[in-house]
């Protein structure tokens, strides 16, 4: 089978299309023919070994010190089950599924074997493979942090990076939970964020939201680029500052100190993947409450080009890798 293989860390050019052995499912596994995956910001960081100093050692232990431990990247996927192990109970051959490999990558390929107990669900009939692949990464991350922030109907929430993969879902989910949503993004994405349900949209190139006098029950930074002190000042007395990525040591220390010395809470960390979250997001899609935002679609052999685009840091929603 064909797969994108990387044997060293570096620029997008380290991603090479290779012929590799097709996997065989174990007794509790599914063999999935992959029709779509995505290139996430997390994939970009792993490919280039762009790990913050605090997490450099744990990341190297997990992903490999000198060279990548796992040669095939990719976590989100959508495809069709080609065969199942003899003990599989939850799925059957021919099922169209979508979900995530969690921390066991391998979706940058034509086939993958996964445990039936993993974060997988049956794909809705009205959802394309491309939409299905795009749903879980940003959707589950946004859902995880919004729940950590104890989002409630009637609250005011500001979402920084509202046009990105996590941000586009955060806007839609916050609206679903009944919050009043302010989205922050660049000039070219203002209309997109409005169309997703934001009540107010701020162009960060023209206005600093931390200086407009408004306060929010929750500020959710989905891209790790907001001002820590400015965000804390812009919170209500019992507000939550959610920061999904780029947690430097200084940010963690300041966050702990803020949480100890005031009623304000700073929340970071990793969004662990759960099947129940996948089912929740699937049901919202089927009900027309959320929709994936796909910026561009590439073929598997164009993976390096897709990574170069993600490297620029200006993608809208998700970048999908599709198999004809």
Per-residue pLDDT of the chain (324 residues; tens, 9 = 90+): 999 999 999 999 999 999 999 999 999 999 999 999 999 988 888 898 887 766 667 777 778 878 898 899 999 999 999 999 999 999 999 999 999 997 678 999 999 999 999 999 999 999 999 999 999 889 999 999 999 999 999 999 999 999 999 999 999 999 999 999 999 999 999 999 999 999 999 999 999 999 999 999 999 999 988 999 999 999 999 999 999 876 677 788 888 899 899 999 999 877 888 889 999 999 999 999 999 999 999 999 999 999 999 998 889 999 999 987
CATH second-level architecture of 2-123+293-322?
Alpha-Beta Complex (3.90)
Residue 36 CA to residue 304 CA, distance in Å, equals: 16
CATH second-level architecture of 138-267?
3-Layer(aba) Sandwich (3.40)
Residues contacting residue 310 through CB under 8 Å, at least 6 positions apart:
39, 40, 41, 43, 44, 319
Q: Is the dihedral of CA 76, 185, 218, 154 positive or negative?
A: negative
Residue 68: burial class (beta carbons within 10 Å; 0-12, 13-18, 19+): buried
> Taking every pair of C-alpha atoms in the chain, what is the biggest distance, in angstroms?
62
Residues contacting residue 178 through CB under 8 Å, at least 6 positions apart:
152, 153, 154
For residue 23 the two structure tokens come to 């996997």
Alpha helices in the chain (DSSP H): 41-47, 56-63, 129-148, 165-176, 190-195, 228-233, 249-261, 275-286, 303-311
**Residue ranges of the domains in the chain?**
2-123+293-322, 138-267
- Give the long-range contacts of residues 88-94, CB within 8 A, separation 24 or more: 88/27, 88/28, 88/29, 88/30, 88/116, 89/116, 90/116, 90/117, 91/30, 91/116, 91/120
pTM of the full structure: 0.93
Same fold across 2-123+293-322 and 138-267 = no
For residue 308 the two structure tokens come to 């170069």
């Amino acid at each position: 089978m064909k797969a994108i293989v990387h044997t060293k860390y570096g620029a997008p050019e380290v991603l090479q299309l290779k012929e590799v052995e097709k996997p065989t499912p174990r007794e509790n596994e599914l063999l999935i023919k992959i029709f779509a995956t995505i290139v996430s910001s997390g994939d970009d960081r792993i490919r280039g070994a762009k790990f913050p100093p605090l997490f450099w050692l744990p990341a190297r232990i997990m992903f490999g010190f000198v060279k990548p431990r796992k040669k095939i990247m990719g976590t989100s996927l959508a495809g069709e089950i080609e065969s199942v192990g003899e003990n599989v109970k939850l799925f059957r051959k021919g099922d169209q599924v979508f979900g995530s490999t969690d921390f066991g990558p391998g979706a940058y390929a034509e086939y993958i074997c996964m445990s039936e107990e993993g974060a997988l669900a049956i794909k809705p009939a009205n959802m394309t493979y491309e939409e299905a692949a795009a749903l879980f990464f940003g959707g589950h991350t946004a859902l995880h942090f919004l729940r950590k922030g104890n989002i409630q109907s009637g609250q005011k929430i500001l979402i920084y990076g509202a046009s990105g993969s996590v941000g586009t879902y955060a806007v839609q989910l916050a609206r679903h939970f009944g919050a009043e949503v302010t989205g922050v993004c660049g000039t070219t994405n203002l209309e997109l964020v409005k169309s997703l349900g934001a009540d107010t949209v701020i162009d960060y190139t023209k206005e600093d939201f931390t200086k407009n006098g408004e306060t929010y029950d929750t500020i959710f930074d989905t891209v790790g680029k907001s001002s820590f002190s400015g965000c804390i000042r812009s919170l209500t007395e019992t507000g939550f500052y959610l920061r999904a990525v780029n947690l430097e040591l200084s940010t963690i220390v300041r966050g702990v100190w803020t949480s100890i010395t005031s009623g304000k809470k700073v929340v970071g960390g990793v969004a662990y993947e759960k099947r129940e979250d996948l089912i929740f997001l699937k049901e919202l899609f089927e009900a027309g409450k959320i929709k994936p935002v796909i910026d561009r679609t590439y073929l598997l052999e164009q993976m390096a080009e897709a990574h170069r685009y993600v490297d620029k840091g200006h993608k809208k929603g998700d970048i999908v890798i599709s198999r004809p």
